[in-house]
C-alpha cells in the first residue's frame, strides 16, 4: 500500500470507528458487533504500525492505552476549578433562592441536575482534538492525566460539529456500578483487597501509571460545565445542548425549574430514582440558567454564587444479623455472607449483605444477633457499615471466620498480604471443580458455549467430567440421553435439559472447535490463580510453550513484563502439582495447543541486529526456541564464532574449543538467564 493510500484508509477507518464509538458509548446505540469493531480497530492498528508518522493523537487506537506515565505533570488551571456550596435541607435551598432573587429579581429560572459522585476533570480541546485532561487537584493546579482519560470511551478524542479553536469543558469521571461490581468480584476471587467505593476507585484509577489498566476498567464521564463559552449561547441549558452537539455525554436527567417547589419535586424524585441508576449520585445541583445572571451573581473564593448542591442523606437502615454463611468460589476463595432479618431499603427488601473477608468481620467486631446498620453504597448488594453495640446482648457470640471449607472440610489458608481465605483442596472441592470447568468453557477462555446453561454442571454431577481433560474424552454414546431439571439463569424458572441428538452434536462440535484456539487461550483457561487473560498472553509470548513455562524459575517469571512475585509464585505452585502436569499431558494428547504459533512470537528490535552463537544445552528453553527468540527480537543466529560475533549464549556442556575461541576473541559469553534479561 502506498503512503497516500494508507493515509486515506487510516482516515476512513478512524472516522468509521469514531462514529461507532460515539453511537455506542454516548448514544447507547450499537451499530456494529464487537467482533467487527475489533477487526476494524486491528486493521487501523496495523496500518499505524506500518506508517507510524500517520498516527494522530485522536486516533481511536489511543483508547486501548499508550505508554505508562511515570510522574503526572502538574498543570495550572486556566480557570480555577471551584467546588459547590452544599446544602442539606429545604430551608438551605429556600435561602439560596432568596439570595439569588435579591441580586437578579424574580425572573429567575434554574436548571436542576444530578450531582455525580466521581472525580472532577477539566478537558481541553485545541482545533477539536483532546489535548489535555487535568484533575481538580487543589483547585488551582491539578495532575495531567490525559493518557488515562483518552481510554474513556465516552470522551471524544475529536469533537464533532462546530467547535472553536480552543475549548475547555468540565465534568465528572465515574465508575459505572456494574463495572465496579465486576472488578470487585474479580478482586475478591483473586484474594485482593476490594475497593471501598466507586468514587475512590475512579480517582485511584485515573492516577494509575499504565493506561492499559485504566482502559480495562471502563470508566465513564458526564460533562456539565464550560468555564468559558461562545457569547451567542445565553443559558446553561443551551450550553449543554451545545456540548451534546460536540459529541460529549451529557445527562438527560435534568429539569428547568421556575421555583423552589419544582426544585423540591426534582430532589424528591431523584432521592428515590437514584437507586435505579448505574452510577452513584450524592445529590442534586441547582444552577441559575441564564449565563448573564450567573455573571452578575459571580463567585465567592470557593464556589459560584449561582449554584448550590443539595446532598442526599445516606440510605441506611438497622436490622438484625441472624446468621453468617460462607460461600466457596471457583478459585476456592471463601466469601462470608450476612443473613439479615428482611428490611426495606431504597425500595427493595434486603435479606443478605456481603461481608467480603475476615478483616471486615473483625473490624466490625460482629456478634450474632447484633443490630447492624446496612447501607446501599456503590455495590448492588448492600453492606454492613456499623453495629449498634448498645443493643448487644452481653452473652452474644462473636462471629468468627471458619477454619475449614464448608463444602469439603479441608483446611482454609490465608496467604500473607492477601485478604481472602482459600480452600486448599483445589482439585477435589466440588464448587472449585465446577467453577474451574465453568471458567474453562467460558467465552474468553475455550469458548465452548454449547456447554453453557447448566450443561457443564450436569456433566459434573453425572460424574462424567471430573476435570477439564475429561471433556475431551466425551463421546456421543456417553452423554446422549442425559436429563436434568435446572433453574434457568435467565428467568429463574424450572427448565428441563435433555441431551438429544442436536444438543450432543453441538456439544461435541464445540469441544472439537476449541482445539483450534491458541496457547494463550488454553493457558488462561487452565484457571491458574492470578493468571488472567493479559498475563496469559504475556506468558505465552515470552515462554513460547508450556514446557518452558513449567520449568521457569521465579527469577525468569518475574523478568516478564507485569509479572510480579505473587503471580510467579502461583505459577510455580501450580506446575509443582503432579496432577496438573498429568492434566496438561492429557490435554496435549487430545490435541490442544500448548505452543504459540510462529507468527505470534513476540517481536522487538531489542537485540539490534547483533549476532549470536548458541551453544550447549539449556535448562529452561530448547536450543531451537532460543534461536527463534533471537530472530524475533531482531538478532541474528550464526553458526560459528568469529571476530564479528557479538555474543555467545552458553548452556551446559559447551565444547571447550568454542569456549577457548570465544575467550581468545574477547567475545562476551552469556548465560541463558542473562540472555533472557536482555529481552525483558
DSSP letter for each residue of 71-121: SPPEEE-SS------EE-SHHHHHHHHHHHHHHH-S---EEEEEEE-SEEE
Q: By rule CB under 6 A, what count of residues binds ligand IVH?
A: 13
All residues at 6 or more sequence positions from 546 whose CB lies less than 8 Å from its CB, including other chains: 519, 523, 584, 588, 594, 595
Q: Which of 20, 37, 72, 116 binds ligand IVH (CB under 6 A)?
A: 116
Rounded CA-CA distance 304/286 in Å is: 11
Nearer to ligand IVH, 41 or 285 (CB): 285
Q: Is-contact 345 373, C-beta < 8 A?
A: no
DSSP letter for each residue of 374-425: EE--SSSS-EEEEE-GGG--TTPPBP---SB-TTT-PBEE--TT-S-EEES-
Stretch that binds ligand IVH, among 82-90, 387-395, 546-554, 612-620 (CB under 6 A): 82-90
Per-residue contact flags (x/-) with ligand IVH for residues 326 to 365, judged by CB under 6 A:
----------------------------------------
> What minimum distance in Å lies between the beta carbon of 29 and ligand IVH?
24
Rounded CA-CA distance 505/474 in Å is: 11
Rounded CA-CA distance 545/528 in Å is: 16
Cell numbers that stand for 10 in this block? 487510516
279 binds ligand IVH (CB under 6 A): no
> What minimum distance in Å lies between the beta carbon of 246 and ligand IVH?
17
Rounded CA-CA distance 454/511 in Å is: 16
All residues at 6 or more sequence positions from 110 whose CB lies less than 8 Å from its CB, including other chains: 256, 257, 258, 263, 286, 287, 288, 289
Phi, psi of 116 (to 5 degrees): -70, 135
Q: Which of 83, 393, 413, 589 binds ligand IVH (CB under 6 A)?
A: 83
304 binds ligand IVH (CB under 6 A): yes
Report DSSP state, residue 595: B
Catalytic member of 9, 42, 115, 496: 115
Q: Which of 84, 345, 366, 448 binds ligand IVH (CB under 6 A)?
A: 84
115 included as an active-site residue: yes
Residues 134-173 that bind ligand IVH (CB under 6 A): 172
| Dihedral over Cα of 57, 62, 68, 70: its sign | positive
Q: Is-contact 256 109, C-beta < 8 A?
A: yes
Nearer to ligand IVH, 22 or 174 (CB): 174
242 binds ligand IVH (CB under 6 A): no
Q: Which of 240, 309, 446, 552 binds ligand IVH (CB under 6 A)?
A: 309
Q: Is-contact 129 160, C-beta < 8 A?
A: no
Q: Which of 72, 195, 225, 524 binds ligand IVH (CB under 6 A)?
A: 225
**333 DSSP β-pair partners:** 422
Stretch that binds ligand IVH, among 108-116, 234-242, 335-343, 516-524 (CB under 6 A): 108-116
Nearer to ligand IVH, 79 or 476 (CB): 79
3-state secondary structure at position 341: strand
285 binds ligand IVH (CB under 6 A): yes
224 binds ligand IVH (CB under 6 A): yes
Q: How far is CA 333 from the centre of its chain?
A: 20
195 binds ligand IVH (CB under 6 A): no
> What minimum distance in Å lies between the beta carbon of 213 and ligand IVH?
24
115 binds ligand IVH (CB under 6 A): yes
Cell numbers that stand for 56 in this block? 494522530
Stretch that binds ligand IVH, among 77-85, 173-181, 195-203, 438-446 (CB under 6 A): 77-85
Nearer to ligand IVH, 115 or 274 (CB): 115
> What minimum distance in Å lies between the beta carbon of 261 and ligand IVH?
21
Q: How far is CA 17 from the centre of its chain?
A: 22
499 binds ligand IVH (CB under 6 A): no
**352 DSSP β-pair partners:** 339
Stretch that binds ligand IVH, among 29-37, 109-117, 346-354, 430-438 (CB under 6 A): 109-117
Nearest to 223 by CA among 245, 208, 193, 204: 245
280 binds ligand IVH (CB under 6 A): no
All residues at 6 or more sequence positions from 259 whose CB lies less than 8 Å from its CB, including other chains: 97
Stretch that binds ligand IVH, among 76-84, 145-153, 444-452, 671-679 (CB under 6 A): 76-84
Stretch that binds ligand IVH, among 79-87, 160-168, 412-420, 586-594 (CB under 6 A): 79-87
Nearer to ligand IVH, 297 or 568 (CB): 297
543 binds ligand IVH (CB under 6 A): no
Nearest to 294 by CA among 89, 109, 95: 109
Phi, psi of 634 (to 5 degrees): 90, 10
> What minimum distance in Å lies between the beta carbon of 437 and ligand IVH?
45
> What minimum distance in Å lies between the beta carbon of 136 and ligand IVH?
7
> What minimum distance in Å lies between the beta carbon of 267 and ligand IVH?
14
> What minimum distance in Å lies between the beta carbon of 265 and ligand IVH?
18
> What minimum distance in Å lies between the beta carbon of 62 and ligand IVH?
25
Instruction: For Cα atoms 129, 132, 135, give the angle at the middle one, nearest 5 degrees.
Output: 145
82 binds ligand IVH (CB under 6 A): yes
Q: Catalytic site residues? A: 115
Contact residues for ligand IVH, defined by CB under 6 A: 82-84, 113, 115-116, 120, 172, 224-225, 285, 304, 309
Amino acid at each position: 500500500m502506498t503512503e497516500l493510500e494508507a493515509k486515506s484508509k487510516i482516515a476512513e477507518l478512524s472516522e468509521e470507528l469514531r462514529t461507532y464509538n460515539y453511537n455506542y458509548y454516548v448514544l447507547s446505540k450499537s451499530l456494529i458487533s464487537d467482533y467487527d469493531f475489533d477487526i476494524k480497530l486491528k486493521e487501523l492498528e496495523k496500518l499505524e504500525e506500518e506508517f507510524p508518522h500517520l498516527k494522530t493523537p485522536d486516533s481511536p487506537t489511543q483508547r486501548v492505552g499508550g505508554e505508562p506515565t511515570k510522574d503526572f505533570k502538574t498543570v495550572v488551571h486556566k480557570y480555577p476549578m471551584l467546588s459547590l456550596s452544599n446544602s442539606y435541607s429545604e430551608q438551605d435551598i429556600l435561602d439560596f433562592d432568596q439570595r439569588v432573587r435579591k441580586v437578579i429579581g424574580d425572573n429567575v429560572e434554574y436548571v436542576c441536575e444530578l450531582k455525580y459522585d466521581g472525580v472532577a476533570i477539566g478537558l481541553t480541546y485545541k482545533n477539536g482534538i483532546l489535548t489535555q485532561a487535568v484533575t481538580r487537584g487543589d483547585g488551582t493546579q491539578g495532575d495531567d492525566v490525559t493518557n488515562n482519560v483518552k481510554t474513556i470511551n465516552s470522551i471524544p478524542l475529536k469533537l464533532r460539529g462546530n467547535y472553536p479553536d480552543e475549548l475547555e469543558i468540565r465534568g465528572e469521571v465515574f465508575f459505572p456500578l456494574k463495572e465496579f461490581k465486576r472488578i470487585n468480584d474479580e478482586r475478591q476471587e483473586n484474594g485482593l483487597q476490594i475497593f471501598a467505593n466507586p468514587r475512590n476507585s475512579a480517582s485511584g484509577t485515573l492516577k494509575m501509571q499504565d493506561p492499559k489498566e485504566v482502559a480495562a476498567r471502563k470508566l465513564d464521564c458526564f460533562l456539565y460545565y464550560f468555564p468559558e463559552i461562545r457569547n451567542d449561547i445565553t443559558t446553561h441549558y443551551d450550553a449543554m445542548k451545545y456540548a451534546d452537539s460536540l459529541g460529549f455525554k451529557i445527562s438527560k436527567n435534568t429539569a428547568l425549574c421556575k421555583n423552589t417547589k419544582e426544585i423540591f419535586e426534582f430532589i424528591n424524585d431523584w432521592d428515590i430514582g437514584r437507586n435505579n441508576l448505574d452510577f452513584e449520585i450524592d445529590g442534586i445541583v441547582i444552577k441559575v440558567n441564564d449565563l448573564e445572571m450567573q455573571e452578575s451573581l459571580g463567585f465567592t473564593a470557593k464556589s459560584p454564587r449561582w449554584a448550590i448542591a443539595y446532598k442526599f442523606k445516606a440510605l441506611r437502615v438497622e436490622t438484625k444479623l441472624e446468621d453468617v454463611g460462607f460461600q466457596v468460589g471457583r478459585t476456592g476463595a471463601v466469601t462470608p455472607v450476612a443473613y439479615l432479618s428482611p428490611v426495606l431499603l431504597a425500595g427493595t427488601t434486603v435479606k443478605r449483605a456481603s461481608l467480603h473477608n475476615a478483616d471486615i468481620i473483625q473490624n466490625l467486631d460482629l456478634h450474632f444477633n447484633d443490630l447492624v446498620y446496612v447501607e446501599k453504597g456503590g455495590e448492588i448488594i448492600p453492606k454492613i457499615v456499623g453495629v449498634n453495640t448498645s443493643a448487644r446482648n452481653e452473652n452474644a457470640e462473636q462471629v468468627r471466620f471458619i477454619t475449614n471449607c464448608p463444602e469439603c472440610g479441608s483446611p482454609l489458608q490465608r496467604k500473607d498480604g492477601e485478604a481472602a481465605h482459600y480452600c486448599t483442596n483445589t482439585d477435589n472441592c466440588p464448587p472449585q471443580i465446577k467453577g474451574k470447568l465453568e471458567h474453562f468453557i467460558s467465552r474468553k477462555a475455550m469458548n465452548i458455549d454449547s456447554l453453557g446453561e447448566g450443561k457443564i454442571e450436569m456433566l459434573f454431577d453425572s460424574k462424567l467430567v471430573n476435570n477439564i481433560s475429561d471433556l475431551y474424552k466425551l463421546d456421543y454414546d456417553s452423554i446422549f440421553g442425559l436429563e436434568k431439571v435446572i433453574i434457568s439463569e435467565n428467568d429463574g424458572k424450572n427448565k428441563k435439559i435433555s441431551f438429544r441428538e442436536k444438543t450432543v452434536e453441538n456439544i461435541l462440535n464445540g469441544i472439537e472447535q476449541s482445539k483450534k484456539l491458541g496457547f494463550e487461550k488454553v493457558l488462561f483457561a487452565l484457571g491458574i490463580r492470578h493468571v488472567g487473560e493479559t498475563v496469559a498472553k504475556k506468558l505465552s509470548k515470552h515462554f513460547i510453550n508450556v514446557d518452558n513455562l513449567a520449568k521457569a524459575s521465579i527469577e525468569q517469571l518475574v523478568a516478564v513484563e507485569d509479572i510480579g512475585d505473587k503471580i510467579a509464585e502461583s505459577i510455580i505452585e501450580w506446575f509443582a502439582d503432579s496432577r496438573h502436569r498429568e492434566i496438561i499431558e492429557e490435554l496435549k494428547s487430545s490435541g490442544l495447543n500448548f505452543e504459540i504459533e510462529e507468527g505470534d512470537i513476540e517481536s522487538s528490535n531489542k537485540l539490534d541486529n547483533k549476532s549470536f552463537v548458541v551453544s550447549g544445552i539449556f535448562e529452561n528453553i530448547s536450543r531451537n526456541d532460543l534461536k527463534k527468540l533471537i530472530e524475533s527480537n531482531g538478532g541474528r543466529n550464526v553458526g560459528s564464532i568469529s571476530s564479528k560475533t557479538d555474543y555467545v549464549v552458553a548452556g551446559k556442556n559447551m565444547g571447550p574449543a568454542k569456549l577457548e575461541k570465544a575467550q581468545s576473541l574477547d567475545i562476551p559469553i552469556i548465560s541463558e538467564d542473562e540472555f533472557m534479561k536482555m529481552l525483558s
